[in-house]
Amino acid sequence: MEACYPDKKATECHPIFIIGAPRTGSTLLYQLLTNNTEVIYISNFVNLFHRNLFAGFVLNGLLLKGHRRIHNSFSSDFGNTLKSGWNAPSESGNFWYNWLSKTNDYEENNNISQKKINRLQKLFNRVMALYERPIVFKNLNNSQRLPLISKIDPQSKIIWIKRDHVYNAQSIILARQKYNVSPNEIWSVHPKGLSPDDCSNEFELVANQIKLIEEKIREDLKLFPEENTLTINYENLEDMLPDILQFCGIKLDSLNMLRPHIKTKNSQRLSSEDWNRLQIEIQSLSLPQ
């Protein structure tokens, strides 16, 4: 399929990456930014063609009458939006795992070949040139891949979404409970240096997971121009939405359409005993807000 579309002149667009720890509101942000706005994204339909992403975008335009349309997907099952339809935004883990390891995301920063980097550069540029719009990616494993992303496109834009650490940790604990994750097993993003054997309990494991993810993000953001990075808080998402849209090159006339879908909420859902234990673990790490 790619051969049918010759190389165009270099696009002026650059990819946008949403990163952060699990359960910070990243999926909601992804859904907001891609709902009938001036960006492109991997939909559930396009993700069917994760081995040939360019073909997926071309077919999406032909069969779904253009990529820019309202998906109205503002709910998910821990990031999974399949129930919201084919045009809902996908995390597309399959696409990234076609290129990268499923186990050591941080090692790929040094081990991926220049040939793969060149191919990813070409793919991203072709897709963006096809629509003349930036592409938004949301896959939280990319929080550990920023050095690699800087090699693919050093002008990439990075949005780091954070959440109050105690509520963030609580949400991860609840997800672990839903999926019956063993107390000595890491769920979701595996940051470098995190070992369940070094943690005395599940609360300590989750607190350190957040800590290590954020430490690596904070360090790796230095690889990008300061004006290409934006740090936001889940709790202030509605207030920051105009700044986020401008950062992504999205027209502010989308504000009134998107704002009603922002429903952020922090509330205690664990037992008082577990809540207190979690607070103690988070406070012991002195995490910067």
Task: State the pLDDT confidence band at 5, using cuts at 50, 70 and 90.
Answer: very low
d(CA 178, CA 187): 11
The whole-model pTM stands at 0.94
102-121 per-position pLDDT tens digit? 777 666 677 889 999 999 99
In terms of residues, how long is the chain?
A: 289
Q: CA–CA distance from 70 to each of 50, 64, 90, 126 (Å)?
A: 22, 11, 15, 23
Task: State the pLDDT confidence band at 3, using cuts at 50, 70 and 90.
Answer: very low
Residue 151 near residue 16 (C-beta atoms within 8 A)? no
- Most confident residue range from 59-68, 84-93, 96-105, 119-128: 119-128
Q: How many CB atoms lie within 10 A of CB 124?
A: 22
Name the token pair of 148.
Answer: 């690699």
7-16 per-position pLDDT tens digit? 555 689 999 9
Q: How many CB atoms lie within 10 A of CB 93?
A: 15
Pick from 53, 76, 228: which is nearest to 149 by CA? Answer: 228
Domains of the chain in sequence order: 11-164+221-265 (3.40.50.300)
Overall average pLDDT of the 236-251 stretch: 96
Task: State the pLDDT confidence band at 68, using cuts at 50, 70 and 90.
Answer: low
Mean pLDDT in the chain? 91
Q: Would you say residue 287 has pLDDT above 60? A: yes
d(CA 32, CA 40): 12
**pLDDT exceeding 90 applies to what percent of the chain?**
77
